[in-house]
């Protein structure tokens, strides 16, 4: 009999997607770490530079920021004010978490939709960013990143809503209640 592998588990697809995201983010950041000091070195010591490096660094900053936001949405690690989940009972905190998850998914979905319309307009217009490269190629990260964020928060909200429905086997995932034995 064959031993079950990680590929047999339903989460293997998500683990692979997370790995691809992490590697892609590391490559983007690595390119910035190499290119920025190289540009400074060339300017200071040789009175020259790479003509496309500054605009590319600005684009890389956008990509790193948005891909970092996607990675933060993976583990729900965005900055937030989280007083309510610590003070409210677990069911109420979970309901509030589901509501904020739906709101976040909705806002991120709207941003994804309208940024996609913007990128499509750039593609139709045929504008270039630098060195003859079409601008839409650099801007496509905006709708893709916000789309991923919307999907993740939408799924997270659905899981929390399902946990609130009596008779389901889902557990309420919330922050520990300070009244449940947390000592200070």
The domains of the chain are located at 12-78, 85-174
Q: What angle do CA 12, 15, 20 make, to 5 degrees?
A: 130
pLDDT at 89: 86
Which alpha helices (H) appear in 4-140, and where do they start and end? 12-46, 53-74, 84-87, 90-125, 135-139
Largest CA distance in the chain: 71
Cβ–Cβ < 8 Å for 173, 163: yes
The C-alpha R_g of the chain, in whole angstroms, comes to 22
Q: Please give the pLDDT value at position 176.
A: 41
Question: Which residue ranges of the chain lie beneath pLDDT 70?
Answer: 1-10, 81, 168-184
| CA 126 – CA 173 distance, rounded (Å) | 47
pLDDT digits (tens, 9 = 90+) for 115-146: 999 999 999 998 888 888 999 999 999 999 99
As a whole number of angstroms, the distance between CA 175 and CA 86 comes to: 6
How far is Cα 123 from Cα 21, in angstroms, rounded to an integer? 25
Residue with tokens 């983007």: 28
């Amino acid at each position: 009999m064959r031993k079950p592998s990680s590929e047999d588990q339903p989460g293997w697809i998500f683990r692979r997607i997370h790995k691809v995201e992490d590697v892609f983010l590391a490559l983007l950041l690595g390119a910035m770490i190499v290119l920025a000091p190289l540009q400074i070195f060339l300017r200071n010591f040789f009175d020259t530079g790479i003509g496309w490096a500054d605009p590319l660094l600005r684009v890389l900053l956008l990509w790193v920021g948005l891909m970092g936001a996607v990675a933060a949405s993976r583990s729900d690690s965005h900055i937030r004010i989280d007083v309510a989940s610590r003070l409210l009972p677990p069911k109420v905190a979970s309901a509030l978490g589901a509501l904020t998850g739906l709101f976040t998914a909705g806002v991120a979905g709207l941003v994804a939709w309208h940024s996609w319309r913007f990128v499509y307009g750039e593609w139709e217009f045929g504008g270039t960013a630098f060195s003859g490269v079409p601008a839409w190629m650099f801007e496509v990260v905006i709708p893709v990143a916000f789309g991923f964020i919307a999907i993740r928060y939408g799924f997270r909200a659905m899981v929390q809503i399902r946990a609130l429905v009596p008779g389901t086997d889902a557990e309420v995932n919330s922050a520990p209640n300070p009244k449940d034995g947390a000592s200070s």
